Structure 1
Amino acid sequence: MLRLRHLLLFTLLFLLLATTHPQAVAQEPRPAPVVPLRPVFEMAHPRVGIVNLFSGGAENFLQVPSEADQPVVTVQAGQRFRLTAPYETVMHSLTAGLATFRAEAYLVQDGTTELLASDKATVINFGPRIYSGALNLDLKFEQPGQYRVLLRSITQVKPVGVNEVTTDEDEMTVIINVVSPETRGRAKQPPILLAGGKAGLAQLQPSPEPMPAPITRTVQVALPRGEIVDAQNAAVNNFEQPHQATIVVRQGDAVRFVAGPHEFVWFNESHGSAEASLDILDGVTDVDPPISYGSDRVEYPDVQGPARRRGTLEVEVTFDEPGIHDLIARLRSAMYPQPTPATDPRGFVDEDDVHIRVVVVQTPETGAIEGTVIAADTLAPLPGVIVRAYGRRDGRPVAMTRTGDQGTYRFDSLRPGTYLVQADPDRQNYLAEWYDDKPRRDQADPVEVVAGATTSNIDFALTPGASIAGVVTEEADPTGSTDPPPLGGILIQVGVFDGSSERSIIVGQTYTLDDGSYAVDQLPAGTYWVRASDPQGLHRAEFWDDAETLADATPIELATGELRDGINFELALAGGGISGRVYRQGGPADPAVIIPLPGILVTAFDAETGQQMGKAETGPAGGYRMGGLPAGRYLVHAEDPNGRFQDEWYDNKRTQDEADPVPVENGQVTEGIDFSLEPIVQAPTVLWIDPPTTSVRQAGDTFEVSLMIRDVEDLGNFEVTLTYAPDVVHVEGAELGTFLSDPSQVGRQYELLDPIIDNETGQARFGVFSVGTEPGVSGSGEVLRISMVAAGPGETALHQQDVQVLNTAAEPIPTRTEDGKVHVGECLAYDFDCDCDVDIVDVSQV
């Protein structure tokens, strides 16, 4: 039944991919931009919930006020700011499907709209899992004034069991007030929330992230989620965290057990209630009911959708007695769709117990360190700064915290001794610093901690970081007929300009956004060089300003906190390029369906010399693009590294001699070089390792794996070499399996040759021959039982190679292999098949 369920889910997901419109598939991969911290405004919280194979909901949850008629926010001219939409997809148990999220920003002016920025994300996977991220729109207005911006959010869901896509599309209009800069530095603004109802102009309200109260230890036990799509379709899941966790605390410390943040969502016009509870119970004492250390509960009665409710359940327990305490975190989440009769208790409920062991050790005499972190330019406190304490002798980190709203921090329970303390601004545009006002660890002043005392006034005044910003475009057309297009995904590197043309230190890097813009923050005052390069190789790299080498680069001098904009690049095309897509035709639902093939290796060879000149790998949508090719003619080859599809030469040719040449010209990309690959027909006979994944806990443990054969006819002889990592496992020996040794079923006599085992190189050769006048065995079964021992922690494949399978007439039997895997060490929680991934197989076993 479980295998049937696996097959059903995988088939449905395959059909989902096959029938999804190409626009719903993620774009070709490129390195994610590293964007410096900017003023951030939340425009929406898109949510998708897939509650079963046939039902799911989508909602944008725009953050719009009910009424407003004034600018939403004030920013400086030339200052980049961000509109963000944090999204989440919840896939419940035994579900699979697709979710897409898209955010767009348009400038509304004189009755026309112009697209300013867009971002999208796609989730295609199985449950039970939570998938989250954020759509980001980075904007910048150069001229002061008021700008009307239309924001649009589009969220879609498609469970695997249905053909229809459910879409929620909403929009709102906001006003951006752009003013002239008053100072050289940039104003620091807290995150802002577009808060309110469903339509109209928006007013931004501050939404500071609360800093948690200092406690000894926080343990997250669950992330409860629940969704109601309609009166018949809903689901809840505690998404409990790994069991059997062990926590070590000192005597007198407190542990805060947290279930959350939890979130319940009512999609469409659904109606109902929700509730959640967390109880911390004694896990040893045989008392009914068990001893309770505390509980927390929340109820959301009579909620009308679309709506979302979010919060956190917390129970704090103080441990005053040394020893071992076994606890149970008991979780219960429930949703009750309406309408149902008032006397009907039916609902969707998930109840789980998480077992936790708390080891309380006797508290030694300790001391503390405290201080404040401020900005050196404004003297304002800096919240959210990471402060770390390191041991002076060994340099190991011993404590970490973040500053609170007033910039203060404190380390408790430090052993007496000497420490080095660092303030790290994280993503704020300030420079990290070691106490006392030192840039490097080896220059830091030591901080003494005395038992029973607090070392105070370990303060920091962080220096504002300088920034370099600009735009990267393609080199302009010499005729001036078209505007140079912006280049996204270009690697920007910033290095210290020390006058040397041989070597330099890179101090920062990022990637350009889709509009070609970039910014690199957190730079100390100094002299720098900047280089722009195309990871795809389609454009020539250059140093600023229009230099090919570091020796010819123009140095950029930055003062403390200075923003140097206008460091722009125009990159010339590097030779030519080739692009296209790779797909297969036909599928279980419709033979005419075109299915994109990701992970296919495409290689270009010089048509005259046969030399390899370029290669690329197809992305999720099956597309590829390679650049940096000199002008000429090329033979292009597509190959599946996993051996699932037959390789092909362009255009639909089987050999290199038959391939059609592809012309490439400098400065141009030859498009449409597509491939339609055919699946490789697998041999019916299979040699495979059983179990496919074996897990043992420690070195010295012995275990066995079986070499199985499937769908063989008239088996005579076979040979196989097994390879493995010798630092993980060793082979000790082998014996004939039951398929070849059962006298009641075997007519011929099968004999095992002495294995050739080399545990130094990780190879073992096995051979079996047979004698007699009877036909060989046919069917499926165990042919070898191999004894092994764990040699050390790690993971290794059990790979079969040099395989020969013959029938009794010494004729080859076409055979394919399926390798195995051995994991030595502890497995992940919920990883029941120990393949080091919690996947649908583990869910089905639950």
Structure 2
Amino acid sequence: MCAAVLLAGPPAVLADAPASAQQAVRLDRVASGLDQVEQRLARLEADVDRSERIDASPPPVFAREARRILASIDDAIRPLRGLNWRVADAPLDRALKLRDRALAVKQRLDSWPAVSQQVDEDLPVVTDAGLGTGAISGDLTDEATGDPIIFTRVRVYCPNIGFDGLAISDATGHYVMNGLGTGTCYVRTMNKLGYLDELWDDIPCPDSYCRMTNGTPIAVTDGSETTGIDFALEKAGGIRGTVTDVATGDPVSGVDVMVYNDSGGYLGSVTTGQDGVYVIDRLPAGTYYARTSSDDYLDELWDDILCNFSCSPTDGTPITVSSGSLTEGIDFALQRGGSISGTVTDEDTGLPLSSANVSVYDASGRNLDSTYTAHDGTYTVTDLFAGQYFVRISHYGYATELYDDIICSGCDPTTGTPVAVTTGGDTSGIDAALSKGSTVSGHVTSAGSGAPLVNAWIYLYDASGNYLSNTNTDPVGAYALTARYPGTYHVVAKEASHVNELYDDIPCQPSCDPTAGDPIVVNAHSDTPGIDFALDLGGSIRGTVTDAANGAPLQYVEVTVYDDSGTQVAVTGTGSDGTYTVQGLLAGNYFAVATDG
């Protein structure tokens, strides 16, 4: 019946007291952590926004930072564990909003580039679109000299009349696309002569992923020529250099070199070849900054400035680029980063745990990087500076640990055992055997007969009265609850026909503050047995609700029971025959109120 279901629910917690001094410290830690995350996230969002605006493919370091931010959000809210939900609600809501933003950035990076942005290098070269008698024409010239730019491709894109093709400038720099119908078109250059390509009208279009519709729309009318769609292009400058291993002098391939403008805005990246050489071309004259990104080497800003993702590009040495020439010698000699590796297993079975999260922190407790274990339980965190670090390992269903074998529930990561990392070396053997936690166990019987109570509900609460989990008793009245972390807990037992109890032997009707019960101390990796309950058989109230006019039984009428102090004790509803029953009541006087509709 409804009454039984109602009585089996978690007991309500009484009104909260103001946050304690300890809670205030934990809330301050959460707020500070989320402030740092929000600053990093805002910067990443700005860099990704700029990548999309200029259609430059984002470097892998952006995706790594998105993953790190997601891990940092999880870390920031760990101190909320064990706090009353009313205290934790606001910071948790903020964290969830930040997580949504970080996931949105990650999804944007994962989906780059969109198909609609790609330019088909094999578009047909045509002089007549064959869709009408309209036309677009213009001239291509060198911005500095006024000389014509000859034999250069010009893309004409008219989405609403279904045309996309290439015209070619002639020996005078003039181009024309005939055969267009009435519609809206966009035009850009696609040169291979060392100029900076543009969308009309005077809009930079730096690479092949430039969105045509970012240009100025051009109205074309069937039967007439739209003239003056001209381009005066600037000769591009660029940056060239070589990336080497500082210890051996050997060239390093596969390193991303990123370039930023004079205000630190991300512009694009290239990857070094087998000879370690990179070239960043198609840059307008101006001031730039460059940095590396590599999984195996420590990142640097040019010139020879060590850099993690949080460093500002403008902390580097400025690089001057002139129109029409490469700025040479922007070289990097990189140090190999250190690494931490190990294996994560199940403490009970010894089997490897895949998909365990491994996070690395610096001495200030800042999350630097995180990864997940492979199918064989192994992991490696690379690209670390020489120094001391702390490692936290977590997996769903297991107690979180700090290295080395330190149970961690919302703890400060720097309370773990420090792990020393050397430049170019791997600190191996940083293993963890995760436990599913300790247990609280006991039996539930009826006080009158001593008979075991089957399917009684047992609820576990932490020291602050926060509900954690529940279970049912088995056919012999036994139960076991998992307490994942060592500490103090409280337990409540409920059975429909018996009086609810807090451990130890404290009546709990209709609800109670779990912390009013006797505390149960749970140690790490152990069972706390003997948390037994002998529940008193409760009294009951039964009755029938009928229609006063005709005596017919009324179904679905709500019946609320109050004790003699006016406190609501239970709510139930009538069945098809108009009857109701409220069980598990302490001896005393009660009032029943029937409400229909």
**TM-score of the superposed pair, with normalisation by structure 2:** 0.39
The structure whose Rg is larger is: 2
The structure with the largest helix share of the pair is 2
Higher relative contact order (CA 8 A, sep 6+): 2
The structure with the largest strand share of the pair is 1
